[in-house]
A and B are shown apart, each in its own frame.
Chain A
Amino acid sequence: MGFFSILVMAAALILILYPIISRGLSAYIFRATSEHRRVQFTEFGIGSAQEIERETAEVTAARQPVFDMIVAHEKDLKAELQEAVDQVHALAAAEGGFLQRSLERRLKRAHADASVEEYLTVLTDVRKSLEGQFDRERFTDVITLITERKQRVEVETKKLTEMKHALRDLLGPLPGDRITELLRSHYGQTRWDRCLHYQDKFLYRYEWDYSNPELSGLKMRTPRVEDFRGTDLEPAFAYVRDNLEAMMQPRLTLYWQFLTTDSRDAHFFGGIWPEVLGTFYLTIGAMLFAIPIGVIAAIYLCEYARPTKTVSLLRSCISTLAGVPSIVFGLFGLAFFLNTISVSESKSVLAGSLTLALMILPTVIRASEEAILAVPFTYKEAALGLGAGRWRTVLTVILPAALPGILTGIVISMGRAAGETAPIIFTAAVSVGLALSPLQTLNSPTPALPWNIYNLCTEHEAVDEIRHVQFGMVFTLVALVLMLNIIAIALRARISRKLRG
């Protein structure tokens, strides 16, 4: 029976931890593409220049056929428009005079290097100008030709734009693209799993079919290649389907820098070091306040306080405090530490630590009290019998003997402080920030794992793009707390062994 219950518990634990561990580890170990290595090199200076150069050359070579196909396709489209342009040229030459000058001026913009869009603008312009003539009936043929070509090419262009967009999502900026400020638009997909996702989006158009009113809508996948049947672009899809590995060069990578680097562009790239460090600061800070106050309070309650009504009331107050929801502590911290006594001008690690310390204080006091009460009376008797004062007895005999229990309490509360979100929302946490120096903790807010997990899952602009970061953070936090607990168990065992002899 006992064995069975342990088995069930272990199974439950594994069931709970499995997704955290497996998905969380994917932030550290994954198949990284050449884009990842390029990001690492350009943004963080990790990797060798020659290697990156060589790889970029290879990747570009592998991608070039697709780009060439796009250029060829655009040329075809332009050629179709060119016929209309030629017609207008002929018309202008035939008309002469003012109309010729006006048309030629407009047509100048449709030169060989101009883009399809430019051609379309020019033709729209020309058509408008022709339609503006009072004897426009004379130009009906040309206007019809322009309208027909324009319509066809516009449809084609829309498809091409969509396709280029999908390709851009996958590979990063295409040759000739205007690069925007946003860092995420500078690079393609860094992770192979995301590559496959975007490959699919490139190969298929996702559309919603609402034709059946009974259903809320069906997601339809239409092969995008259908849009480009018979054009120069048709082979591009088979090419991307078959040669994605050469285009992205995925390699299984242990990305331990995820832990030690900061993030770029709202966690699109880089790691979680500011968050880890922030959590570390907050936890240590909370401990710095909570341990001395908590242990001294416990000593007072156990060794000095007379068992009066006030003291028992105090004890129940402490127990009650342990059950107060953490968000209440968070708001209290904001109202007291920041608004009333202004420990810092803005949110800060200091204010957050104080709030967290307040939250875990009851746990520390209770655990320390239990531990002190568990010290055999004979130790105390022996020390007092040898002429030790009360304080000396506490210091030299009771505290050392109670240390394992006190430590356990401390580490359990440390785990709690590290993982608590609500108290730091209003007092310490920001979504994006850099790693702080110890001095900055006095007046600067910090990102922290629990808050950023919440933030990334709910408020981030592209939640789906950075799932791996969320899970990486969760995994890191769980590992951190687990590590703390293991340290506690080991420490406790060590000290107990030393005490037992």
Chain B
Amino acid sequence: MSTVVDAAPKHPNESSHQAGDSGITMHRMKSFAGRDDSTGIESLEVHVQSREFSIFYGDNEAVRSLSMDIPRSRVTAIIGPSGCGKSTFLRAINRMNDLIPRCHTAGELIFDDENVYDPMVDVVQLRQRIGMVFQKPNPFPKTIFDNVAYGPRLQGERNRSRLADIVERSLREAVLWDEVKDRLHDNALGLSGGQQQRMCLARALAVNPEILLMDEPTSALDPRSTASIEALIGQLRGDYTIIIVTHNMQQAARVSDFTAFMYEGLLIEYGNTTKLFTNPANKQTEDYITGRFG
């Protein structure tokens, strides 16, 4: 279990704009503007902390004693071959694994000073604070408006004009507003795949989550839609803590500040994205990113 820590010095602007996309550093890789390549994890505020956290499907240990700190307001990518436990870990953060029978956990997963798996935790509230975007776009068979307004309505918002405001804000955040503003009351299933996924993102954003979990959000999309989702992630960075699971290493390299590499339920390497892709500390990581296995 080697958590490689990037030893680069603290960025001069970091302290004054801790949560913003400050510290504009010229990127060395093809990535969106504003990525902080030089900052180390330990210098940032921890948002989610995994402590010796394990997940079992029956007797099968899918995630093994994983420890990692996920920083606030940054994009953290989790990569690894199929079946390495990355999705399982992601879905554990807002307890979506509760739906799976015989799934149980050990260790702690701390979010906001509280163990997510504490029996006292209100799962409903937790999921409102930790939003999720799934692998396949999964709009409800309702209108676009009703889809986006679903979360706020759950929270008891009934005021028509306030709902409309929230829907507009969320759709603007998801860069979908201009495309759908004239057809808000059409069925969401009539949108294209990329639009559907952005709408799902808007739906997740409408409840003002603190964290966005993205489970391979572009694997079902064409390259153009993928590009738009990636651009969107770039724009949301700084306002939300984003954890993204992806198969696509280029995508991880493009969008994330930090990357974790998992293999067979173990966290192999975790650190600054640029560092991990250009100068991996671990032989397995290197083999994986250079395409020798996986």
Residues of A with Cβ closer than 8 Å to B?
306-307, 376, 378-389, 392, 396-397, 400-401, 498-501
Contacts and interface: CB of A to CB of B under 8 A. Distances in A.
Contacts of B126: 387
B157 interface: no
B96 A385 contact: yes
A387 B151 CA distance: 7
Contact of A392 (B99, B131, B154): B154
A61 B284 CA distance: 115
A386 B204 contact: yes
Contact of A385 (B101, B131, B139, B190): B131
Given A396-B150, A401-B141, A387 B134 contact: no
B72 interface: no
Contacts of B138: 376, 378-379, 381-382
Contact of A378 (B134, B155, B203): B134
Nearest to B151: A386
B179 interface: no
Given A381-B134, A500-B187, A501-B186, A387 B207 contact: yes
3 smallest CB-CB distances across A and B, nearest first, come from: A501-B187, A387-B128, A378-B138
A386 B129 CA distance: 9
Contacts, number: 76
B190 A501 contact: yes
B134 A500 contact: no
B141 A386 contact: no
A392 B123 CA distance: 13
Size class of the contact patch on chain B: 20 to 34
Contacts of B141: 379, 400-401, 498-501
Nearest to B213: A385
B151 A500 contact: no
Given A400-B141, A401-B141, A501-B189, A385 B132 contact: yes
A385 B127 contact: yes
Q: Which of A307, A387, A401, A498 has the most CB of B within 10 A?
A: A387
A389 B187 contact: no
Contacts of B127: 384-387
B200 interface: yes
Nearest to A397: B140
Given A381-B134, A388-B124, 20 more contacts: A306-B101, A307-B101, A380-B99, A381-B96, A381-B99, A382-B134, A382-B200, A384-B96, A385-B132, A386-B204, A387-B124, A387-B128, A387-B207, A400-B141, A400-B142, A500-B141, A500-B189, A501-B187, A501-B189, A501-B190
Contacts of A380: 99
A403 to B, nearest CB: 10
20 contacts: A306-B101, A379-B140, A381-B96, A384-B127, A385-B127, A385-B204, A386-B131, A386-B151, A386-B154, A387-B125, A387-B126, A388-B124, A389-B124, A396-B150, A400-B142, A401-B140, A499-B189, A501-B141, A501-B189, A501-B190
Given A381-B138, A382-B134, A401-B141, A498 B187 contact: yes
B58 to A, nearest CB: 14
B104 interface: no
A500 B140 CA distance: 10
B188 interface: yes
Contacts of B132: 385
B11 interface: no
Q: Which of A384, A386, A400 has the most CB of B within 10 A?
A: A386
Nearest to B94: A385
B185 to A, nearest CB: 11
Nearest to A499: B141
Contacts of B139: 382
B136 interface: yes
Nearest to B136: A378
Interface in B137-162: 138-142, 150-151, 154-155
Interface in B149-201: 150-151, 154-155, 186-190, 200
Interface string B188-225: 11100000000010011001000000000000000000
Contacts of A397: 140
Contacts of A400: 141-142
A501 B188 contact: yes
Given A307-B101, A499-B141, A500-B141, A386 B128 contact: yes
Contacts of A376: 138
B154 A388 contact: yes
B221 to A, nearest CB: 15
Nearest to A501: B187
Nearest to A307: B101
Interface in B237-285: none
Interface in B60-119: 94, 96, 99, 101
Nearest to A497: B187
A387 B154 contact: yes
Contacts of B96: 381, 384-385
Contacts of B155: 387
A394 to B, nearest CB: 13
A499 B142 CA distance: 6
Q: Which of A376, A384, A400 has the most CB of B within 10 A?
A: A384
B90 to A, nearest CB: 12
A492 to B, nearest CB: 14
Contacts of B204: 385-386
